[in-house]
Chain A
Amino acid sequence: MSGLSSAATSIRQNRGLYGALALLVLLYLVYNILHPRGFSSAVLIQNANESVAIVFLAMAQTIPVLLGGLDLSVGAVMTLAACIASVLVNGSPFQIIFGMLVTLAAGTAFGFCNGLIVVYGRLQPIIATLATGAIAMGLALFIRPKPGGDIDGDLNWALTNSLWDFVDTYGLFNPDAAWFAPFSWIPVPLLIVGVIGAGVWIPFRRTVMGRTIYAIGSAEGAAYMSGLPIDRAKIAAFTLAGFFASCGGLYLAIQTASGNADITQAGAYTLNSIAAVVLGGTSLLGGIGGAIGSMIGALILRVMSFYFRILSIDPLLQPLVEGVVLLVAVSLGAFGVLRIKNRLELFR
């Protein structure tokens, strides 16, 4: 088999992903052209900062969706993690790192519990996580009844600016060194998303556990008959979702230098995470798609909202426009239905 034909196969099998990527590139190019200070590091940094949380949440949502489920607790887990971080992430470097680890561990453990409840409680993911999401919100309110908190200022500055600022803040080496110049403009938030996304998701996808998640969403009966570890994979899926959600929460706390147990915000994040997953080409029926697509989907949603700032569109129209764009984008993916010759297959 030639490399060319396998590349063609890969493109055909990932149409949704490549389509979303093309849309994102187009949207962002036009955005920069229209922006008075377009194509500058400052704009990129600001945009990246505002995208991290939703990108992580979209990745979190992807994994339960691949199973054929939904996780309605991701926004709440993110909020819980942000509130924990707003208490713990300060003090000595050791305390800061400890606080970050505790934050991530708490979200991961919460996801693990979601998995246990879904598998051993035999509950539908959507209702189980609706309930646990409310619990997470309650815990978040308990930790932080009023918005506020204390996040290490250096950390806030270092993680929300370019690599140059990161190196400068911690005095790692001379940030003006000639060899560093080609990289110094890269926004740190972009790097965080890239490293965690690529470092966790891509290897995970290539484990038996990751494959089992796809198999369950695609044909659970066949997965069982093939002797795959179904229960463990479901628990792993929700655990990983909790981990990504807490990554989002941790970053949100660092970025805003505070924690805020905002119920409305948590709900909006959850719903946007589902929209991002669908935009990124993952099927809500499960089995098809991936977290990379969801990252792209989340970025598309964010870039759309940036447009409202630079074009003088009434911000009140924002939900309306976003809804229409989402509907159109998702409809493009539904054209396959028209090719189905046996209508009974529509219901399978």
Chain B
Amino acid sequence: MSDQPFLQLAGISKHFAGTRALENVDFACDRGTIHAVLGENGAGKSTLIKIISGVLKPDAGTMKLDGETVEFSRPSEANAAGVVCIFQELSLVPDLTVADNISLANPPRRLGMIDRRAQRQFAESILARIKCEDVDPNALVRDLSLSRRQMVEIAKALGKSPRLLILDEATSALTRNDVETVYELLAELRQDNVASLFISHRMNEVERLCDTLSVFRNGRHVETFAKGARSDRDIVRLMIGREVDAQFPPKPAAGARAPRLTIENLSWENRLKGASLTVGKGEIVGLGGLDGQGQKELMLALFGVLRGVEGQVRVGARAGIPASPVEAKSAPSRICLVPEDRKTEGLMLPMSIADNLLAASYAKVSSGPFIDPGRERSLVDDAIAKLHIKVGSPQDAVATLSGGNQQKVVIAKWLMTDPEVILLNDPTRGIDVGTKQEIYRLMRQLADEGRAILFYSTDYAELIGCCDRVVIMYDGAVVTELSGEAINEEAIVAASLNITSSSMESVS
């Protein structure tokens, strides 16, 4: 091995519509190591790996691979150079078979045509290597479970014989056995002198696997150090930075609250397995846990999106699970959901800000079939003023707004319906710090008005700072409930991993 690192980034910057995703990043990674990249949501990890793997082009800076300057303008060029990424959003084609997917771009050919027998044998050998003999190479990817799909994704990456393998939360949906297999595989690849970049939110994974750790914060590379050089507490501090305190509004004193939303034994498919919780009038309840433990499904079920939900739901005096979003938002339930993906589920991007704000409340501004322009204007102006949405004109397309202001439009749309129960699905994702703080203040203000808020967040700091109580979900059920002083990082992390240590002050 030469002295030069295998992968070397210098001065990489990337901006999106005014927000800074990466700022002057220097980064290096060696062959034969497993290198963890840590950071909060929005720290720039995803942007970093997208640049390395050719999905995005940096605005500035250079990248060297094996001593040579490279510029990838598409993923296929990165693949050709041996840089292979396993993306969080799966890159599998659902309507093709497993074998087709594993050698998608470069299948074995005979006379210009795909040699299906060779392709199937190749798929079988790779699947055997990752102990997935149970996966039929002729099955369609759409028929596989999420965990099997993720293993196929790993098989696909392996099939490209990578020199640099990037895993972006690649173990999040895997079963315990598969995770072990992936660990063994990564150790094998390290033996074979492959460089691995490992992005994960699970500290225990990182501790167990990685040799080197790099921490990112707010688009900057903060520090790189060998495993063991820093304590967990130090790492968390590096990830969060100094400005942890004083960004959240003060919490009111805890007291008995009349329950507004009660859920008992909610089950759906195999994603919700008997989840139970209550949210009181005027209370903010945080919903925590690792990604994909049923939090999103819980909210969708409450909002009437899922079919075949079992269990009891009580909203105020009304019992029963809403059958549709229309029923959920109307009296007597008056539930609203700020969805996970504002660009597809929250907003109609090409439509105007005014139309988006009114989308859930047209009944309020209509006389018969016609929309009353006067009432429309006054409601829209009120909403914009109330949430301090920065707009040129309410008639501009909502797509022209920044991410933070778009999210405010989604929230304002729902506040216009005067909801009793507010479900927030990670509302601060990808939003600048200033807007985040406005949203925190707004949440508290809404709670003080007597509304019940259920708040899912992947950011521990938010759960700690905003919530009166926090419930942690694991594998489709609520495993722990924390309140008061017990809401702290250690307790949340331990509960998220479903560790029931006696030293943790968990109240359930």
Contact = CB atoms under 8 A, between A and B. Distances in A.
Contact of B96 (A215, A221, A343): A215
A228 B103 CA distance: 11
Given A341-B308, A342-B306, A227 B136 contact: no
Question: Which of A5, A208, A224, A225 counts the most B-chain CB atoms under 10 A from its CB?
Answer: A225
B269 to A, nearest CB: 6
Contacts of A92: none
- Chain A interface, >50% SS class: helix
A344 B345 contact: yes
Given A343-B305, A344-B305, A211 B79 contact: no
A145 B380 CA distance: 58
Contacts of A215: 93, 96, 104
A227 B100 CA distance: 14
Contacts of B277: none
Contact of A288 (B80, B95, B136, B139): B95
Given A13-B140, A203-B113, A341-B307, A227 B105 contact: yes
B113 A342 contact: no
B162 to A, nearest CB: 13
Contact of A228 (B94, B104, B139, B324): B104
A202 to B, nearest CB: 9
B95 A214 contact: yes
B93 A223 contact: yes
B164 interface: no
B118 interface: no
A343 B306 contact: yes
Contacts of A224: 74-75
A222 B93 contact: yes
A291 to B, nearest CB: 16
B224 to A, nearest CB: 28
B139 A9 contact: yes
B55 A225 contact: yes
A9 B116 contact: no
B19 interface: no
B312 to A, nearest CB: 19
B104 A341 contact: no
B268 A341 contact: yes
Contacts of A208: 105-107, 109, 114
A206 B113 contact: yes
A287 B95 CA distance: 6
A227 B138 contact: no
B415 interface: no
Nearest to A342: B306
Contacts of A221: 89, 91
Contacts of B80: 227
A227 B157 CA distance: 12
Contacts of B363: none
Interface string A204-215: 001110010011
B498 interface: no
A5 B136 CA distance: 10
A340 interface: yes
A6 interface: yes
Given A208-B107, A208-B114, A341-B308, A222 B95 contact: no
B87 interface: yes
B104 A340 contact: no
Nearest to A287: B95
A206 to B, nearest CB: 4
Nearest to B92: A222
Contacts of B106: 208
A316 interface: no
Nearest to A223: B93
Given A207-B113, A341-B307, A227 B93 contact: no
A342 B305 contact: yes
B366 to A, nearest CB: 25
A226 interface: yes
A55 B91 CA distance: 35
B116 A206 contact: yes
B305 A9 contact: no
B92 A344 contact: no
Interface string B293-315: 00001001000011110000000
Given A227-B79, A341-B308, A344-B345, 5 more contacts: A214-B93, A218-B95, A228-B105, A341-B269, A342-B297
Interface of B: 55, 74-77, 79-80, 87, 89-96, 100, 104-107, 109, 112-114, 116, 136, 138-140, 156, 268-269, 297, 300, 305-308, 324, 345
Interface of A: 1, 5-6, 9-10, 13, 203, 206-208, 211, 214-215, 217-219, 221-228, 287-288, 340-344
